Amino acid sequence: MTADADRVAALVERVEAGELRLHELTDHTDSDTAAVVRRQVVEAESDANCEAIGDYGFPAEVAEPNIENMIGTVQVPLGVVGPVDINGAALDDERYLPLATTEGALLASVNRGCSVINTAGGATARVTKAGMTRAPVFSVTDVAEALALVEWVRDNEAALRDAAEETTNHGELQDVTPYVVGNNVYLRFQYDTKDAMGMNMVTIATKAACEVVESETAASLVALSGNLCTDKKPAAINAVEGRGRSVTADVVVPSEVVAETLETTPEAIAEINTRKNLLGSAKAGALGFNAHVANPVAAMFLATGQDEAQVVEGANAITTAEETDAGDLYMSVSLASLEVGTVGGGTKLPTQSEALDILSVGGGGDPAGSNADALAEAIAVGALAGELSLLAALGSQHLSSAHESLGR
């Protein structure tokens, strides 16, 4: 983006003189000029060349809701795999899957899995549960007062729902579950956030509900998030109860396809999955029992404007593999806490919006929530393709050779 050189120079001089701070620049000029000024200040102080960082293809103003102190963009290579046949409840069609990554061999591997899935007649995918959570923590005097709060919440959930839903046109409070730890009470609020990922929505709504709790009980709000939500951290509660969308994809691959295309057997893949993904993960104390679900999840998160930190929960998945009675391969991937949306956040940025359009899931769906469900189904099938390909590579002893030729 271009900016007036004299204007930039004058602002750089003021920043260097201490008259302006970088975050104050947008009060004095347009967003693109502010980005240029920040970039020049950073270049001068770090002796770095940020020319590529400053070469971006949309007005900086577009990104203002998504970032502060912008100096440019980081461009991550974007590719596609597929098309892959997805037999979902929200997405029942062939789709190309957009993945953004710097890891060589990843798209080739997932693409191979997609090809096998297509040969097998497609993958089935379903969202089995949906609900975004926020869990504030309250302090009480003792356990008796804690129980009194728990009982009050159970008797007054309608009042909490009214207060929470007053703050949003779309979110719906589904449930409030209390947890007591000594003189601490955690209330895990769960919402239907439709096509939005919904963290901002549920935070604002929960704050309004907390005000009702404080006004009607003896409890005091300590923190709006008490970490029982649980957001952007590995947590067993998300693996068990789910968060965002719980989604499963599965496929039955004929034994001849496993032999001819993957150069291994259903029995070998099932054994590797048990010994590696299940037993190995258990011994390691892992929460995710899978090979590399984080890879396609992260790549599709980056491509479609999801909150990349929530890959922590998105990779909270279990892969299963077994040989069927007919000698074929059954495989599934169940992602317990996939937090995705097709409206809000980074989904509005130009390139991310275009990636969602590749999937035909951009914006709000009809009915509400259907586009985010479709995105979740697509990510689950991408994860299934990645698991299938990697386990087969291990079974055929091709993993290292693939990385040697493609990983570079």
Tell me which DSSP letter residue 121 carries: T
Question: b/e per residue, 167-187, with b = 16+ CB within 10 A?
Answer: bbebbbbeebbbbeeeeebbb
Known catalytic residue: 313? Answer: no
Tell me how far apart the alpha carbons of residues 120 and 118 are, in angstroms, rounded to a whole number: 5
In which element (H, E) is residue 10 found? helix 5-16
- Is residue 132 a contact partner of residue 172, using CB atoms and an 8 Å limit? no
Tell me how far apart the alpha carbons of residues 114 and 16 are, in angstroms, rounded to a whole number: 53
Tell me which DSSP letter residue 309 carries: G
Tell me which DSSP letter residue 289 carries: B
Catalytic one among 43, 93, 103, 157?
A: 103
Catalytic one among 231, 307, 328, 373?
A: 307
Q: Which two tokens stand for residue 225?
A: 């998030």
**Beta pairing partners, 78:** 100
Cite the DSSP H helix spans in 120-175: 143-155, 157-165
Residue whose structure tokens are 């201490």: 18
What is the chain's length?
Answer: 408
Query: Is residue 47 left, alpha or beta, with left meaning phi > 0 and alpha meaning psi from -120 to 50?
Result: left
Known catalytic residue: 307? Answer: yes
Residue 119: HSE in the Cβ half-sphere, 13 Å Cα cutoff:
18
Nearest to 293 by CA among 106, 115, 87, 88: 106
Known catalytic residue: 103? Answer: yes
- Is residue 160 a contact partner of residue 212, using CB atoms and an 8 Å limit? yes
Distance spanning both ends of the chain, measured CA to CA:
33
Catalytic residues: 103, 307, 403
